[in-house]
Structure 1
């Protein structure tokens, strides 16, 4: 079994989910997404014991495009994140009744297929195709099943689509230019190109535009909060938990090894933009009365710090970013799921209309509190491990970067704990809030279990990803 089987399961699962009909769609999606997770674990094990799990098959002769999927320590880690979160996201949607149910769950499965393909693709044009494919299902998920005013939702979703699609076109132009150098899209061939400083500047800028919009980095962030708020919970989880990680992964896989010179020359400017997002997102989170918007701006702050760690181009920065991508994926999915549970019972997203939940739902309150503490990187949680390494990498670059970047911990603790107090504590709310049920509790326990286990014992992931990151740094530093 090689990595292509993961993609086959997800793609077949998307088709099967659609054709089984509305009644069985959610169950089919859960079965196939769980099967994809099992396949990913097995393929990762085969790689770990020394077997080759790559897949290569000639596709198009001119231009030379190959179905080339790479299974290495970086790509498999990101596919594990994708296939682990997908069944959780599917299960978290069981409490909602969706029109056109089969289409909704089929789109989730197809999006997981596209995102996994993006992480596995070793051919530049194949990577671009999967990158764009991932945009299609989230567009329809947010547009058809999103909430709020219809016109406002349409504007937010169309803006998101145009931003991300337009930015990606610059990346396509960069790949076409690179192809003309060696008539190959293979990532290792592109790594070894001897590009001039001017060529690298243009290639770097083209990639940066695509990735900065997707992450997003200031000033390319304006689409994010509205889409997160308008999209259904599952769509927001897919966006924040997995999709934005495609861009950070791509910086490590494609941008830095191909065009390292501008990354070094403009390092302080780029890291400065990332850290500006940390402060900007935190300040805006403080002002929000919408729970989903608060979490959206919180995510903006956290991913800004992750991106800053990548652009330090140190082993600690890359490793910390990888760890934080995984941790952030789980915690943000957990927080948006908690937000969805509250919205289901109170039928509102407005914080000032909440409060007093602890009295009626002590189990849910305890679980929500753990997620909040993990979000602010409390020692003992997974987020602390990645955030500490990212901050350490910033300290190696410039001490002032870590001083300013570290404000995410202080500001994050302030607005998240204040939000918890306003939403969960106080006198009993007039609205009835039933405590968490079995299926909801199972999803929360799985997420919390990952955050606590790897918060106390991150060694398996650290040992797994470090050798590949060290090899990547060799390409980045060969100037």
Structure 2
């Protein structure tokens, strides 16, 4: 089943590329739904323990010690669920959009899904790196071909940033590969063993090689400078892929690869990572407050939200990692909904400038209501999905260091400031020449946004199923880390 999740969207994408069917969107959507159903089936068959399941481990390039090794545990499954849940929504969100070369666009989306799933299920270091790099290719072309003004320069900056980070990670993986005992191998367990056997200084070296790659992908301050421009210029569906799923690759890399692999390095440099993540929370929020472009505002808000997830992750507590897991899901759903709302506004009014809007709730009450619910999920109102994750994350940071916890908690206050300001400028007041003809949600748009609203409320009221999926794997990972860091001391 794990192999099916990887290769099914790849095969469909190749079919779309080569055959160029007239109904490329329908085929891509149907394939993404099949992928989601397969993931739901795996979830029903999944045993809630810390062990990897649905494992395939076969020799691939034996001379390099490379195996095609994939498998799923609770941490992987939560992110595979998020990926396969959002991709059908992303395809559906194209509504009646007419893309030049639609077969290329939808083929790239499915190829992106394949690479993302591969990242989350890879149990071999080089295989993880290959999927990580493959994920960059389709999103680069999506942004370059269908992006907005000045997309060439901005997309090149994004490509160089992320490629440079990936090369740092490759150096780290090769360093660990050469340190594996006996015949060298990239197997996850062997890389864990090799990393844990390194001296504290070497572990610190590997920590920074890997962390820079993950920090760029998230991105966290000060590795974020590619993000606002790329999110703004990318087509809406590209921004959804980047913000809703792709940035989770960085957090996942920290949890799966960094923490258990170099425990002494994490113990030495984790506090630094927390500090820069907390700085990013305040920085991203403050920059979001002064934005006039709706889409750019959401881009900077993402910097703040991811900073909180990263800070909670590095507290190395069950509460922090569980908060990170559920907040990754919540952020993916909320930011998907928010960027779609921006797309609807821009399509109706031909502008994203907040000062040009106003009074939309008077002519589109359903749209305004949906916006309110998604907004409340973003600002972590109780009984929304955002509250569960942010409460756990802020709690973990506060237990780690109460001053940092208090600063991180500003994300809720500052988030309320920029989101309520956005609502006031776009939805409240009287209609003007730009918004007077604003139509309410169509049936197709409801099919995209209503599931987002339901998930925000459902996860906020009953988050237990998601938390129970990841808890055994998270607990086991931290138990291994605690034992190793204690032995180092």
Please give the range of the TM-score, normalised by the shorter of the 2 chains. Answer: over 0.9
Matched, 1:433 2:438: yes
Aligned equivalent of 1:159: 157
Aligned equivalent of 1:121: 122
Matched, 1:40 2:39: yes
How far residue 47 of structure 1 moved from its aligned partner, in angstroms, is 2.3
TM-score (norm 2): 0.95
Q: Deviations over 1:377-432 (max 9, x none)?
A: 00000110011000111011000111000000000001100101101111113231
* Alpha-carbon distance between aligned partners in 2 of 1:163 and 1:188, rounded to the nearest angstrom: 29
Q: Deviations over 1:205-226 (max 9, x none)?
A: 1001101111111111110000
Helix, strand or coil: the match of 1:389? helix
CA RMSD, Structure 1 to Structure 2 (Å): 1.3
Aligned equivalent of 2:67: 66
Contact 1:18 1:25 in 2 (8 A): no
Change (3 A) 1:229 1:302: same
Q: Which of 201, 214, 239 is the equivalent residue of 2:204?
A: 201
Q: Which of 448, 470, 477 is the equivalent residue of 2:475?
A: 470
Q: Which of 253, 260, 264 is the equivalent residue of 1:261?
A: 264
Higher mean displacement: 177-186 or 236-245: 177-186
Contact 1:22 1:100 in 2 (8 A): no
Aligned equivalent of 1:362: 365
Contact 1:118 1:246 in 2 (8 A): yes
Matched, 1:321 2:320: no
Contact 1:46 1:53 in 2 (8 A): no
Change (3 A) 1:52 1:404: closer
Aligned equivalent of 1:459: 464
Q: Which of 418, 422, 425 is the equivalent residue of 1:422?
A: 425
Helix, strand or coil: the match of 2:4? helix
How far residue 433 of structure 1 moved from its aligned partner, in angstroms, is 1.0
* Alpha-carbon distance between aligned partners in 1 of 2:140 and 2:53, rounded to the nearest angstrom: 36
TM-score (norm 1): 0.97
Higher mean displacement: 17-26 or 428-437: 17-26
Matched, 1:287 2:290: yes
**1:325-340 matches, cutoff 5 A:** 325-340=328-343
* Alpha-carbon distance between aligned partners in 2 of 1:19 and 1:33, rounded to the nearest angstrom: 18
* Alpha-carbon distance between aligned partners in 2 of 1:57 and 1:29, rounded to the nearest angstrom: 30
* Alpha-carbon distance between aligned partners in 2 of 1:59 and 1:13, rounded to the nearest angstrom: 23
* Alpha-carbon distance between aligned partners in 2 of 1:141 and 1:165, rounded to the nearest angstrom: 17
* Alpha-carbon distance between aligned partners in 1 of 2:302 and 2:34, rounded to the nearest angstrom: 29
Contact 1:13 1:33 in 2 (8 A): no
User: How many residue pairs were aligned?
Assistant: 475
* Alpha-carbon distance between aligned partners in 1 of 2:130 and 2:83, rounded to the nearest angstrom: 18
* Alpha-carbon distance between aligned partners in 2 of 1:239 and 1:361, rounded to the nearest angstrom: 29
* Alpha-carbon distance between aligned partners in 1 of 2:120 and 2:404, rounded to the nearest angstrom: 30
Aligned equivalent of 2:96: 95
Helix, strand or coil: the match of 2:172? helix
Aligned equivalent of 2:136: 135
Q: Deviations over 1:427-454 (max 9, x none)?
A: 1132311110011111101111111111
How far residue 190 of structure 1 moved from its aligned partner, in angstroms, is 1.7
* Alpha-carbon distance between aligned partners in 2 of 1:320 and 1:52, rounded to the nearest angstrom: 23
* Alpha-carbon distance between aligned partners in 2 of 1:236 and 1:227, rounded to the nearest angstrom: 8
How far residue 94 of structure 1 moved from its aligned partner, in angstroms, is 2.0
How far residue 19 of structure 1 moved from its aligned partner, in angstroms, is 4.2
How far residue 302 of structure 1 moved from its aligned partner, in angstroms, is 0.3
Matched, 1:412 2:415: yes
* Alpha-carbon distance between aligned partners in 2 of 1:447 and 1:16, rounded to the nearest angstrom: 30
How far residue 22 of structure 1 moved from its aligned partner, in angstroms, is 5.8
Q: Which of 169, 175, 178 is the equivalent residue of 2:176?
A: 178
Aligned equivalent of 1:16: 15
Higher mean displacement: 125-134 or 193-202: 193-202
Aligned equivalent of 1:29: 28
Aligned equivalent of 1:108: 109
Contact 2:259 2:481 in 1 (8 A): yes
* Alpha-carbon distance between aligned partners in 1 of 2:383 and 2:133, rounded to the nearest angstrom: 37
Aligned equivalent of 1:449: 454
